[in-house]
Amino acid sequence: MFRTLSLVMLASTLTLVGCGGPQAWRRAASNASASQPAPGSELNGILVGLFEPPAGEGHKLEVVELRLLAMGEPPWATLEPGSAAARHGRVGLTTHRICRLREGLTFHRVERASWMIFEDGMLLAWDHGTFKPGCEAGRSYRPARVEFLDLERGLLRYYAQRYPAAWPTLEERLRGGLALLEADRLEDAKRVLKHADGNVTQLSDHTETVFGDEREAAEQRLVIVKALHVKLRRAVRKAEREAAKQADAS
């Protein structure tokens, strides 16, 4: 198991940027076809996809930060454009992107961040902030397996502190809890549920303080959040019962 990388060490490592900034990565991977995260996706295809704006006229996508790291023993080494795709072993990616769109007098500006873990150039795990038409935020999430937890947590700590405006929504975190259960990470899913309990109460209280169209939108969101909250709670309880049966059998 890899040693946990301290946030200070990771932040220090990440202050180094490959020559040419994010656009250098785009040029280095330009021969690949854009792809979205899926198990086994190739690194260069993912890099190209990070620069593609949502479908529809007027969208502008800015890749503010893009870093790739050789995830061997810490401190993790920063990789240069052109070297990561051919590298054997584990590679980490973090990125911060902004989508902008003007519709008449309305301006949209949405921030999203992502982390990914590759092995021998193939994608293993990710938490990818996406953009839909209208710069609507989305999320694609496949948590790391238990043996990669130290790597995931090292990237996540950096991501959470450096890009707070890009943090997943409550709905996304609840769906993420279900994904954690699928990855046999019951304890992590329970932590998501515990933190969500208070968030759901706060959201319910907030709904009572707004009116008109804002009230209608808040009520619609609350219905979705409560349904996800119940679904995660039931799934956690089921997983706990199954874990208890396995413990008794052993």
Question: CA-CA distance, 90 to 148, in Å (whole number)?
Answer: 10
> Quick one: pLDDT at residue 20?
62
For residues 67 and 78, membership in a common domain is answered with yes
Burial 225-244 (b: 16+ CB within 10 A, else e): beebbeebbebbeebeeeee
Does the pLDDT of residue 50 top 60, yes or no?
yes
Domain termination residue (choose one: 114, 132, 167): 167
Average pLDDT, the chain: 89
Q: Mean per-residue pLDDT for 109-137?
A: 96
For residues 138 and 192, membership in a common domain is answered with no
Lowest-confidence range among 1-5, 81-85, 101-105? 1-5
Does the pLDDT of residue 10 top 50, yes or no?
no
For residues 79 and 140, membership in a common domain is answered with yes
The domain tally of the chain equals 2
For residues 11 and 118, membership in a common domain is answered with yes
38 or 87, greater pLDDT: 38
Domain termination residue (choose one: 136, 167, 198): 167
For residues 211 and 239, membership in a common domain is answered with yes
For residues 203 and 227, membership in a common domain is answered with yes
Does the pLDDT of residue 28 top 70, yes or no?
yes
> Quick one: pLDDT at residue 5?
40
Query: What's the whole-model pTM score?
Result: 0.86
Question: CA-CA distance, 45 to 243, in Å (whole number)?
Answer: 39
Both tokens of 136, joined, read 């609507």
For residues 106 and 181, membership in a common domain is answered with no
Does the pLDDT of residue 16 top 50, yes or no?
no
> Quick one: pLDDT at residue 6?
43
What domain range is 236 assigned to? 169-250
For residues 61 and 158, membership in a common domain is answered with yes
Q: Mean per-residue pLDDT for 98-102?
A: 97
Cis status, amide bond into 75, omega within 30 of 0: yes
Domain termination residue (choose one: 167, 187, 215): 167
For residues 71 and 140, membership in a common domain is answered with yes
Q: Mean per-residue pLDDT for 21-42?
A: 90
| Half-sphere exposure at residue 193, Cβ-oriented, CA atoms within 13 angstroms | 22
